[in-house]
Amino acid sequence: MGAPLFSPLTLRGLTIPNRVVVGPMCQYSAVNGDASDWHLMHLGQYAKSGAGLVITESAHVEPIGRITHGCLGLYSDANEEALGRVVDFCHTHGTAKLGVQLSHAGRKGSTRLPWEGRAAPLDAEGWDTVGASGQPRAEGWPRPAPLDNAGMDRVRRAHVDAVTRAARIGFDLVELVMAHGYLLHEFLSPLSNHRTDTHGGDLNNRMRFPLSVFTAMRAAWPKDKPFGVRVSATDWVDGGWTPDNTIVLANALKKLGCDYVAVSTGGLSLDQKIALGEGHQISFAARIRKAAGLPVMAMGMIEDPLHANRIIDDGDADMVALARAMLSDPHWPWRAAAALGEDVNYPSQYLRGYRSKWLRERRATPSQ
């Protein structure tokens, strides 16, 4: 039997050739939300990396829903055309399936580029942000305007428009962000949701808007294509969002037609105390998978191919997403395949550099 990491996975009508996912990574290199040549290169290299699935960085559903001025958008015709060019490029030259991550930054928007001062709010060129409630992210951060009913309708519609654009330009999969302290997570967590209407208070109320966004988007996304949701399984703060809450959310999403949950943690509160370490989020993924009976994507400090394979083999997750390991080693799947005695897709142009094949050829002709 082959290595589970390199076995295919079918979600609805999509068969992903293996379980290695290149996770979403903001590049802050878009102009007015338009993908640039940087995105062609960045995503193009991963499309041919041997990974089964590549997920774009967050594409934001409206201009004020961006994190920075350099963030990707999918709210205009120009955004759609620019990202469509990247999708075509990756599908033509690579073998990975392509997913788009859609998000609204909420009160974490209007931020400087990380290399201009990590997670600092913009001053002069900033914009007014919106949130679940009026509390800023932290002291010194702009106060978001709490979304009223008309605002929630607008934001829901923006999500639907974005997923319609994503379908039109041929993405294979979509992932909606309810994680990392961004808008939908702000509704979910009692630390950031202080509303007194039907969208605040108990868990059902706090889930109401995020679930309504999901439902509207799912209806606009092709039935034969998978739709996942990224969650933060815990805020890592006492009194915050918990793994038990996440299981309730995952069960509700499953009923509404969600195909997988991508399990991250944190990002909402600066008071978070994260227990960091190799694969530190995997136990959350495994719990959600078991309790909700839904495929899960595990992530966070996964680097060793044998570890990644074990995560799938042990039934802790259905996919593993790598981010930083893929930045430092863009052909990580080749290395993993060699370590596990497997084959992955690789371009003919790179045949002579493909290590496991090279090793096999050497073994077959020992005199060389």
Ligand X SMILES: Cc1cc2nc3c(=O)[nH]c(=O)nc-3n(C[C@H](O)[C@H](O)[C@H](O)COP(=O)(O)O)c2cc1C
Residue 233 contacts by C-beta under 8 Å, 6 or more apart in sequence?
Answer: 243, 246, 263, 264, 265, 281, 284, 285, 287, 288
Minimum CB separation of residue 28 from ligand X in Å reads 9
Segment contacting ligand X by CB under 6 A, of 24-32, 144-152, 185-193, 271-279: 24-32
Minimum CB separation of residue 40 from ligand X in Å reads 17
The DSSP string of 96-107 is SEEEEEEE--GG
Would you count residue 264 as binding ligand X (CB under 6 A)?
Answer: yes
Q: Could you give the CA distance from residue 311 to residue 89 in angstroms, rounded to a whole number?
A: 32
Question: Of 118 and 352, which has the nearer Cβ to ligand X?
Answer: 118
End-to-end CA distance of the chain: 31
Please check whether residue 303 is in contact with residue 320, taking contact to mean a CB–CB distance below 8 angstroms.
Answer: no
Binds ligand X by CB under 6 A, chosen from 3, 40, 54, 58: 58
Binds ligand X by CB under 6 A, chosen from 106, 279, 300, 333: 300
Question: Of 86 and 354, which has the nearer Cβ to ligand X?
Answer: 86
Closest by alpha carbon to 39, among 73, 66, 76? 73
Number of residues that bind ligand X (CB under 6 A): 19
Binds ligand X by CB under 6 A, chosen from 3, 16, 20, 26: 26
Return the residue matching tokens 């002579």: 352
Q: Could you give the CA distance from residue 156 to residue 214 in angstroms, rounded to a whole number?
A: 9
Just list the catalytic residues: 182
Binds ligand X by CB under 6 A, chosen from 203, 291, 323, 339: 323
Would you count residue 278 as binding ligand X (CB under 6 A)?
Answer: no
Tokens representing residue 181 in the block: 């302290």
Would you count residue 24 as binding ligand X (CB under 6 A)?
Answer: yes
Phi, psi of 21 (to 5 degrees): -115, 135
Binds ligand X by CB under 6 A, chosen from 301, 335, 345, 355: 301
Would you count residue 181 as binding ligand X (CB under 6 A)?
Answer: no
Which residues contact ligand X by CB under 6 A? 23-26, 57-58, 101, 177, 180, 230, 264, 299-302, 322-325
